[in-house]
């Protein structure tokens, strides 16, 4: 059992703990994000209505600049929408006080960045322990938890190594352990395999898939890698500010490729 909630959050502890195992976890309503630079205006998200069920492993694909990172940042409350809303466990993030939002970011969400953002001069264990230290946990206990998570991502024997000395794939494993050390309900991974070769990308995807199942996570992956995306429960494509079932995945299904559960399209000849 995890330590008690630190405050009277509007999103109750049961939701952060992920006690409920089915039903809606996250929803966006007419989500819109506009950036202005000088006289230019760009709207990468132009009315996103998305419902994500607890336990779902969802992939978001789309060309570079489509707005995948922007969407994940809004879901993680790392940025605010221009209009529209994000609901976590049916509570609008907009209704949360700043301290509650901080708790949401720290406890409910685990974020894996496109570039891992590890502190290169700190050890793998110290990097993983960082979110626990931010939460006020003692150093000894935090490092013990960190070592447990490093073992889960296959790096038990690397805990004392400086992060800067690890390979790209190992660094991404450390970043995943760091994202999960607070036992979030929601895992958001922004191109977690983008900087890796094919084999390491495959291994990292399998690790995420396995952690997703063992820890009963709800996970959203932004990725350029369509063959990995196809192995998730549902693939949505972000383009021109809108989200829709991925046309390439639907086309792949029509051509007889494996059917992701939620495209709603059956390969030719499939029965039942």
Ligand X SMILES: Nc1ncnc2c1ncn2[C@@H]1O[C@H](COP(=O)(O)OP(=O)(O)OP(=O)(O)O)[C@@H](O)[C@H]1O
Q: Does 68 contact ligand X by CB under 6 A?
A: yes
Q: Which is nearer to Mg ion, 90 or 240 (CB)?
A: 240
CB of 62 to ligand X, least distance (A): 6
Q: How far is CA 165 from CA 135, 149, 170, in A?
A: 27, 19, 10
Q: Does 65 contact ligand X by CB under 6 A?
A: yes
Q: Does 62 contact ligand X by CB under 6 A?
A: yes
Q: Does 42 contact ligand X by CB under 6 A?
A: yes
Q: Does 196 contact ligand X by CB under 6 A?
A: no
Residues 6+ apart with CB under 8 A from 105: 76, 77, 78
Q: Is 161 in a helix, a strand, or coil?
A: coil
Among 15, 28, 70, 145, binds ligand X (CB under 6 A): 70
d(CA 125, CA 13): 27
Residues near Mg ion, by CB under 5 A: 69
For 92, the enclosing helix (H) or strand (E) is strand 91-92
Are 87 and 29 in contact by the 8 Å Cβ rule? The answer is: yes
d(CA 218, CA 215): 9
Q: Which is nearer to Mg ion, 69 or 246 (CB)?
A: 69
CB of 18 to Mg ion, least distance (A): 26
The alpha carbon of 160 is separated from its chain's Cα centroid by a whole number of angstroms, namely 26
Q: Does 260 contact ligand X by CB under 6 A?
A: no
Q: Does 44 contact ligand X by CB under 6 A?
A: yes
Nearest Cα to Cα of residue 194 among 219, 178, 171, 162:
171
Partner whose footprint covers residue 263, from ligand X, Mg ion, none (CB < 5 to 8 Å by kind): none
# of chain residues touching ligand X (CB under 6 A)? 12
Q: Which residues would be at the binding site for ligand X (CB under 6 A)?
A: 35, 37, 42, 44, 62, 64-70
């Amino acid at each position: 059992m995890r330590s008690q909630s630190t405050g009277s959050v509007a999103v109750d502890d049961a939701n952060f703990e992920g006690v409920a195992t089915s039903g809606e976890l996250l929803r966006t309503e007419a989500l819109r994000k506009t950036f202005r630079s000088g006289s230019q205006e760009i709207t990468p998200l132009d009315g996103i209505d998305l419902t994500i069920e607890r336990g779902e492993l969802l992939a978001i694909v789309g060309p570079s600049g489509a707005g995948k990172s922007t969407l994940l940042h809004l879901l993680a409350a790392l940025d605010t929408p221009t209009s529209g809303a994000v609901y976590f466990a049916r509570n609008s993030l907009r209704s949360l006080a700043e301290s509650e939002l901080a708790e949401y970011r720290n406890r409910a969400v685990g974020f894996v960045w496109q570039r891992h953002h590890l502190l290169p001069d700190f050890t793998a264990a110290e990097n993983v322990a960082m979110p626990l230290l931010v939460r006020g946990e003692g150093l000894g206990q935090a490092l013990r938890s960190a070592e447990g998570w490093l073992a889960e991502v296959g790096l038990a024997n690397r805990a004392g190594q400086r992060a800067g000395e690890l390979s790209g794939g190992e660094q991404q494993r450390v970043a995943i352990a760091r994202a999960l050390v607070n036992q979030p309900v929601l895992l958001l991974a922004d191109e977690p395999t983008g900087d890796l070769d094919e084999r390491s990308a495959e291994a990292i995807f399998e690790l995420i898939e396995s952690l997703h199942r063992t820890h009963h996570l709800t996970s959203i992956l932004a990725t350029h890698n369509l063959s990995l995306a196809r192995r998730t429960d549902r693939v949505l494509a972000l383009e021109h500010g809108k989200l829709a079932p991925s046309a390439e995945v639907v086309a792949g299904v029509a051509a007889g490729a494996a059917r992701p559960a939620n495209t709603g399209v059956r390969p030719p000849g499939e029965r039942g």
